[in-house]
Amino acid sequence: MIATTTADAIAQVNALAAHTALSAWGFASDFLIVIILFAIFFLFAWYVGRGSFVALLLALYTAYALYVAFPYTSLLPTAPAMTTLLAHIGLYAAMILMFYIILHRVIVSDFLYIGIFGLIVLSFLGAAFLIAFAYHVFPVASVYQFTPAIDILFAPKEYFFLWFIAPAIGLFFLAR
């Protein structure tokens, strides 16, 4: 469509800008939870340090192993849904904190190097790990409905292993 007047041209540019802005907002709102978690991981690594960030990523794995083997989950509340979710998240967060403290003491950050690109990738993979974890381990579905775009990426059980292993593979290739 070719503009015949300046007003037509301005209207077309306005329509294009509005469409682009709505598309960008739609994408951002679909992936808002991933963007927020990514920002938290990135800022944590940026301000606290790469060694602490690696300790946090490894603590996610070790806490999961303990969480799965934890024999007292039957004692956690089962109703209402929000209380159940918060109890499970609180238990997992306590385990992460415990292992983070242990691993932070063990990891020698003087010899660790992760570039800015690696930091971005690992932050995204850590956020994706937590979203996949929320989908398949925590009872999040009873409290919060993810968008269809997020469902496509994280809901299939076949993808859980891939999102679960992704931060470890990222650490293997990006941390020096």
- Same domain for 40 and 95, yes or no, is yes
- Same domain for 117 and 148, yes or no, is yes
Half-sphere exposure of 52 (CA within 13 A, CB side): 11
Is pLDDT of 27 > 90? no
Per the structure, how many domains does the chain have? Answer: 2
- Same domain for 81 and 140, yes or no, is yes
Rounded distance between C-alpha atoms, residue 147 and residue 6, angstroms: 40
Structural domain that includes position 8:
1-30
**The pair of three-digit structure tokens given for residue 126, joined into one six-digit string:** 């850590």
pLDDT at residue number 28: 65
- Same domain for 105 and 64, yes or no, is yes
Query: Of the ranges 11-15, 19-23, 52-56, 99-103, which one carries the lowest mean pLDDT score?
Result: 19-23
- Same domain for 6 and 86, yes or no, is no
Answer for the pair 138, 88: CB distance below 8 angstroms, yes or no.
yes
- Same domain for 19 and 68, yes or no, is no
* Average pLDDT estimate for 70-96: 90
- Same domain for 96 and 51, yes or no, is yes
- Same domain for 36 and 26, yes or no, is no
- Same domain for 19 and 88, yes or no, is no
- Same domain for 127 and 111, yes or no, is yes
pLDDT at residue number 20: 57
- Same domain for 45 and 23, yes or no, is no
- DSSP string spanning the chain? ---SSHHHHHHHHHHHHHHHHHHHHHHHHHTHHHHHHHHHHHHHHHHH-HHHHHHHHHHHHHHHHHHHH-TTGGGS--SSHHHHHHHHHHHHHHHHHHHHHHHHHH--GGG----HHHHHHHHHHHHHHHHHHHHHTS-GGGT-PPPHHHHHHHSSHHHHHHHHHHHHHHHHHH--
**Better-scored residue on pLDDT, 176 or 2:** 176
* End-to-end Cα spacing for the chain: 53
**Better-scored residue on pLDDT, 94 or 24:** 94
- Same domain for 17 and 67, yes or no, is no
Rounded distance between C-alpha atoms, residue 161 and residue 70, angstroms: 20
pLDDT band for position 32 (cuts 50, 70, 90):
confident
